[in-house]
Amino acid sequence: MNTFGTIFRLTSFGESHGRGIGGVIDGMPAGIKIEYDFIQNELNRRRPGQSSIVTPRKENDKVEFLSGVYEGYSTGAPIGFVIYNENQHSSDYNNLKETFRPSHADYTYTQKYGIRDHRGGGRSSARETIARCVAGALAKLVLKELSIDIKAFTSQVGNISLSKDYRQYDLSRIEENIVRCPDEKKAAKMIALIDEVRAAGDTIGGVITCVIQNMPVGLGDPVFNKLHAELGGAMLGINAVKGFEYGMGFDGVQYRGSQMNDVFVQKDGRVSTLTNNSGGIQGGISNGEDIYFRVAFKPVATILRDIQTLDKSGAEVILKAKGRHDPCVLPRAVPIVEAMAAIVILDHYLLNKTKHI
Helix (H) or strand (E) holding 171: none
Verify binding: residue 38, a second copy, rule CB under 8 A: no
Cα distance between residue 106 and residue 101, in whole Å = 6
Which of 57, 104, 140, 198 is in the footprint of a second copy by CB under 8 A? Answer: 104
Which of 55, 154, 177, 352 is in the footprint of a second copy by CB under 8 A? Answer: 352
Applying CB under 8 A, which part among 48-56, 62-70, 163-171, 182-190 lies near a second copy?
Answer: 62-70
Q: How far is the CB of 218 from a second copy (least distance, A)?
A: 4
Environment class of 218 (CB within 10 Å of its CB; exposed 0-12, middle 13-18, buried 19+): middle
142-201 residues near a second copy, rule: CB under 8 A: 142, 145-146, 156, 158-159, 197, 200
Kindly give, in sequence order, each residue whose CB lies less than 8 Å from that of residue 175, ignoring residues fewer than 6 positions away. 45
Closer by beta carbon to a second copy, 89 or else 305: 305
**Residue 241 is assigned to a ligand binding site:** no
**Residue 299 is assigned to a ligand binding site:** yes
Q: How far is the CB of 322 from a second copy (least distance, A)?
A: 15
Whole-angstrom CA distances from 129 to 25, 165, 209 are 14, 29, 18
> With contact defined as beta carbons under 8 Å apart, do 292 and 337 qualify?
no
Residue 298 has what DSSP assignment? Answer: P
Closer by beta carbon to a second copy, 173 or else 225: 225
Kindly give, in sequence order, each residue whose CB lies less than 8 Å from that of residue 41, ignoring residues fewer than 6 positions away. none
Which of 37, 185, 268, 357 is in the footprint of a second copy by CB under 8 A? Answer: 357
Window 243-282: contact mask with a second copy (x via CB under 8 A): xxxxxxxx-xxxxxxxxxxxxxxx----x-x---xxx--x
Verify binding: residue 138, a second copy, rule CB under 8 A: no
Closer by beta carbon to a second copy, 48 or else 122: 122
Angle, in degrees to the nearest 10, between helices 330-352 and 227-236: 150
Applying CB under 8 A, which part among 36-44, 50-58, 122-130, 175-183 lies near a second copy?
Answer: 122-130
Cα distance between residue 207 and residue 196, in whole Å = 18
* The residue type at 186: K
Verify binding: residue 205, a second copy, rule CB under 8 A: yes
Residues at the binding site for NADP(+) are 46
